[in-house]
Amino acid sequence: MRAPWLVLLLVCGCTSPLSALTSERTITVDAQRFLLRSREDAGRDVDRVASALSTATPPLSVWGGLEQSVTVHVLRDHEELERAVRRPGFDWLRAWARYDDVMLQAPSTWAPAQEPLVELLTHELTHCLMFQRSGGPDDWSKRGIPLWFREGMAVWTAKQGDKYPTLEDASSWIAQHRDLDAFKDGEALSQAWSGPVYGIAHHAFAFLVRRYGQDAVTALMARMKSGQSFHDAFTGAVGLTPRLFQKDFETYLRLKGFRDWARPVGRPPKTLRDVLPER
Give least dist CB 249 to Zn ion, A: 19
C-alpha torsion angle, residues 156, 153, 127, 160 (rounded to 10): -20
> Considering only 85-93, 144-152, 244-252, 271-279, which stretch makes contact with Zn ion by CB under 5 A?
144-152
Q: Kindly tell me which of 208 and 235 has the beta carbon lying closer to Zn ion.
A: 208
> Smallest distance from the beta carbon of 45 to Zn ion, in angstroms?
20
Q: How far is the CB of 13 from Zn ion (least distance, A)?
A: 27
Residue 143 is given by DSSP the state S
Judge whether 196 and 169 are in contact, CB under 8 Å: yes
Q: How far is the CB of 258 from Zn ion (least distance, A)?
A: 24
Closest listed residue to residue 102, CA positions, set 135, 63, 130, 144:
130
Minimum CB separation of residue 135 from Zn ion in Å reads: 17
For Zn ion, the closer of residues 39 and 49 by Cβ is 49
Cβ neighbourhood burial of 96 (10 Å; 0-12, 13-18, 19+): buried
- Taking the C-alpha atoms of residue 79 and residue 190, their distance in angstroms, rounded to an integer, is 19
Stretch that binds Zn ion, among 22-30, 55-63, 148-156, 258-266 (CB under 5 A): 148-156
Strand, coil or helix: 17: helix
Least distance in angstroms from the C-beta of 96 to Zn ion:
8
Part in contact with Zn ion (CB under 5 A); list of ranges 52-60, 138-146, 147-155, 158-166: 147-155
- Only segment of 2-10, 146-154, 186-194, 227-235 that touches Zn ion (CB under 5 A): 146-154
Q: State whether residue 96 is helix, strand or coil.
A: strand
Nearer to Zn ion, 154 or 200 (CB): 154
Residue type, 60: L
**What element of type H or E holds 75?**
strand 70-75
Instruction: With H, G, I as helix, E, B as strand and everything else as coil, classify residue 141.
Output: helix
- Residue 63 near residue 157 (C-beta atoms within 8 A): yes
Q: Which residue's Cβ has the minimum distance to Zn ion?
A: 154
Q: Which is nearer to Zn ion, 198 or 249 (CB)?
A: 198
User: To which H or E segment does residue 25 belong?
Assistant: strand 23-29
Site string for Zn ion, 100-139 (x = CB under 5 A): ----------------------------------------
Residues near Zn ion (CB under 5 A), total: 2
From the CB of 186, what's the least distance to Zn ion, in Å?
11
Q: Count CB atoms within 10 A of the CB of residue 226.
A: 9
By C-beta, is 89 or 269 nearer to Zn ion? Answer: 89
Contact call for residue 154 and Zn ion (CB under 5 A): yes
Binding site for Zn ion (CB under 5 A): 151, 154
